[in-house]
Amino acid sequence: MEKDGERRDRIGIFFGGRSEEHEISLLSAKSVADAIDKQKHEIVPIGISRDGRWFHFDEIPEEICEKACGEPVSVSEACGAIDFAFPVLHGPYGEDGKIQGIFEMMNIPYAGSGVTSSALCMDKAFAKEVFIQNGIPTVDYLLVNRMLIMDDMGLVVRRCMDKLRFPMFVKPANLGSSLGISKVEDRAELITALHLASQYDRRILVEQGVNAREVECAIIGNDSPLASGVGEISATHRFYDYEAKYTDGSGTEIRVPADIKKETVEKIRAYAERAYVALDCAGFARADFLIDRESGEIFLSEFNTIPGCTKYSMFPMLWRERGIPFKEIIERIVRFGYERHHVKNSR
């Protein structure tokens, strides 16, 4: 209950959005809303439809539309009704710095990384350059664009095969949740995968495939981040794809903690914290790694500044394994957001 004379701050949970990860965002938003301490905070659900319209809801809905009892609101009305913003928008228009720019202009404290860091992490190719500059290993890759794929597919394929060997992974540079990603074993599959990825983004990343274990590490904090332990994902699909991550969880096995050597865990945690600082992340993030099954070599794959928070998601599982409930993690993320806002406005 509220103490006399004490008002709960209003936390706007932003969800939905224009990206291909719209449905995932709703699932994550429900988990975040459930975890927020209602004695300290009042929840203000703000849904963004696929066409960019904003709605205020009484609770997180199954879908975002007026039929779901959403009240249309303007951007200024939504931002004026809250004290703090908690974006749970995965992918473009939410995880790439765009919504963060709105919060910055409105001078609203918010959860998670800022504009530059969000944009940098969203683009897998730019993020890899930061990894390399900071001595963090990542797999070999080639960046191609949609125009070249359309104009001269033969040239693109030759460049890929000259630099990399099969298997390869083809993925949109600016999309998450395994959307548009393909594992390819030969030239024909490479061509098909390039066409598929180019439907999602104009920048396409082609990575060297590795016979690897897929592991993840969660991070929270601002300038002095804390990394969790490490969890492992084993998929019966060709890789850990969209359906395995977010539908019914079938076809996957998640092990928290991962059954790997202690020194490997510590190296992964150190890489995650180093990358977090180098990318200027804030609040929370998740780092995805590969461990070569033969050599044991570690590769940092990508950074997610708004990681999935569904019941199938690794982020909350990793903290529970450390003995920190998801409710406590959410409270810390809110505190980190307020602290960063205070420091910025105290300059």
**CA dist 185 → 189, 280, 292, 295, 331 (Å):** 6, 36, 18, 21, 45
Structural domain includes residue 327: yes
Is the residue at 116 inside a domain?
no
CATH number of domain containing 314: 3.30.470.20
- 93 with 128, same domain: the answer is no
Do 200 and 282 have their domain in common?
A: no
Q: What pLDDT sits at residue 9?
A: 97
Are both 72 and 196 inside the same structural domain?
no
**CATH code for the domain of 145:** 3.30.1490.20
Compute the distance between CA of residue 265 and CA of residue 318 in angstroms, rounded to an integer.
Answer: 13
Cα–Cα distance for residue pair 139/123, rounded to 1 Å: 16
3-class DSSP state of 225: coil
Q: Would the pLDDT of 66 be above 80?
A: no
Q: What is the pTM of this model?
A: 0.91
Question: Residue 246: what pLDDT?
Answer: 52
> What is the C-alpha separation between 208 and 206, in angstroms, rounded?
7
Name the pLDDT band for 345 (thresholds 50, 70, 90): very high
The pLDDT value recorded for residue 70 is 87
Q: Tell me which residue range forms the domain holding 185.
A: 141-208
Is the residue at 249 inside a domain?
A: yes
Q: What share of the chain is helix, strand, coil (3-state, %, to 5)?
A: 35, 25, 40
Average pLDDT, the chain: 93
Residues 6+ apart with CB under 8 A from 266: none
By percentage, how much of the chain surpasses pLDDT 90? 84
Instruction: Using the 3D structure, point to which of 179, 208, 237 is the last residue of a domain.
Output: 208
Cα 35 to Cα 43: distance, rounded to the nearest angstrom:
11
Answer yes or no: is 14 within a domain.
Answer: yes
Per-residue model confidence as pLDDT tens digits over 278-329: 999 999 999 999 999 999 999 999 999 999 998 889 999 999 999 999 999 9
Are 113 and 100 in contact by the 8 Å Cβ rule? The answer is yes
**Domain CATH number, residue 62:** 3.40.50.20
pLDDT at 4 over 50: no
Q: Is residue 186 predicted with pLDDT exceeding 50?
A: yes
Task: Indicate the pairing of strand 41-48 with strand 9-16.
Answer: parallel
- Confidence (pLDDT) at 2: 42
Say if residue 200 is in the same domain as residue 231: no
When pLDDT is cut at 50, 70 and 90, the band that residue 67 belongs to is low
The confidence score (pLDDT) of residue 177 equals: 58
CB-facing half-sphere around the CA of 275: CA atoms within 13 A: 36
Same-domain pairing of 146 and 130 = no
| b/e code 119-150 from CB counts within 10 Å (16+ = b) | bbbbbbebbbebbeeeebebbebbebebeebe
pLDDT in tens, 142-165: 999 999 999 999 999 999 999 999
Mark whether 35 and 155 lie in a shared domain: no
> Of the candidates 141, 160, 144, 127, which has an alpha carbon nearest to the alpha carbon of residue 208?
141
Question: For position 347, what pLDDT does the model report?
Answer: 75
Q: What is the mean pLDDT of residues 41-61?
A: 95
What is the number of structural domains in the chain? 3
Q: Are residues 189 and 248 in the same domain?
A: no
- Domain membership of residue 1 (yes or no) is no
What's the half-sphere exposure (Cβ side, CA atoms, 13 Å) at 334?
A: 24
Same domain, 335 and 242: yes
Residues 193 and 220 placed together within one structural domain of the fold: no
- Mean pLDDT, rounded, for 234-249: 58
Evaluate if residue 220 carries a pLDDT over 50: yes
Together in a domain, 315 and 219: yes
Taking the C-alpha atoms of residue 337 and residue 264, their distance in angstroms, rounded to an integer, is 31
199 and 306 share one domain: no
- Where is pLDDT greater, at 239 or 127? 127
303 domain-assigned: yes
pLDDT at 320: 97
Residue 231: the pLDDT is 98
Examine the fold and report which residue of 162, 186, 208 is the final residue of a domain before the chain moves on.
Answer: 208
Other beta carbons less than 10 A from residue 153's beta carbon:
14
Split at pLDDT 50, 70, 90, the class of 242 is low
**CB pairs under 8 A, 24+ apart, for 128-135?**
130/275, 130/278, 130/279, 131/275, 131/278, 131/300, 133/278, 134/274, 134/275, 134/278, 135/274
pLDDT reported for residue 1? 34
Domain check: are 243 and 274 in the same one?
Answer: yes
Q: pLDDT at position 341, please?
A: 98
194: tokens are: 């390039």
